[in-house]
Chain A
Amino acid sequence: QQPVQSPQAVILREGEDAVINCSSSKALYSVHWYRQKHGEAPVFLMILLKGGEQKGHDKISASFNEKKQQSSLYLTASQLSYSGTYFCGTAGANNLFFGTGTRLTVIP
């Protein structure tokens, strides 16, 4: 029931853009995105609800296509602080399943 994320890892130079994809085989109520720094707990970035809405958080935005059961996270003009592992979470009525994560490294 884990959603599938791609790519598994990506390395960017400061200022470059990246896209992280998340897909599920099950119908989704909502999609969550979290970021985890090394040795720390995951931290919430945003949640997307049905309706194909897009949300933004600074220069990080995301979209949700409920028909395709997919979501994408867009990081533009990446900063060093964006480094970490990004997880998408797919929520049913009460559960919350996370993907395997995408390790993002931003280098100067």
Chain B
Amino acid sequence: NAGVTQTPKFQVLKTGQSMTLQCAQDMNHNSMYWYRQDPGMGLRLIYYSASEGTTDKGEVPNGYNVSRLNKREFSLRLESAAPSQTSVYFCASKWFMNTEAFFGQGTRLTVV
């Protein structure tokens, strides 16, 4: 069981470039989440998906788009990267409301 897998692990982008962060889980979880982690800011929710075909905004959705491709995969897209999007991004998933969330190992993104 791989759990939650994120790719890539590291990425450097130039301002204005676009990229997609990939996340896949093999636990048959319904809900999936994207967070960003910045020093002193904790984990901030960007977008989440309660089930296949649905997505909702979290606290900091501006500058991002998401796709819940199927039950396993939930991708995060930066259309035009900005230095303010330099962060560590975590994907997480869980079965339903009152169950534990499992996290991927994170993607460290630097925008120069």
**Which A residues form the contact surface with B (CB < 8 A)?**
1-2, 5, 29-30, 32, 34, 40-44, 47, 49, 87, 89, 91, 93-101
Contact = CB atoms under 8 A, between A and B. Distances in A.
B42 A100 contact: yes
B97 A42 contact: no
B35 A95 contact: no
Given A2-B59, A99-B42, 10 more contacts: A34-B101, A41-B90, A44-B102, A47-B100, A91-B97, A93-B50, A96-B33, A96-B48, A96-B94, A98-B43
Contacts of A47: 98-100
A93 B45 CA distance: 15
B99 A42 contact: no
B56 A32 contact: no
Interface of B: 31, 33, 35, 40-45, 48, 50, 56, 58-59, 90, 92, 94, 97-106
A96 B42 contact: no
A29 B97 contact: yes
The residue in A32, A47, A93, A98 that gathers the most chain B C-beta atoms within 10 A of its C-beta is: A98
Contact of A94 (B35, B48, B105): B48
B31 A2 contact: no
Contacts of B35: 98
Contacts of B58: 95, 97
A47 B101 CA distance: 10
Given A87-B42, A101-B42, A96 B56 contact: no
A43 B103 CA distance: 7
A99 B42 CA distance: 6
Given A32-B101, A44-B102, A89-B101, A96 B40 contact: no
Nearest to B103: A41
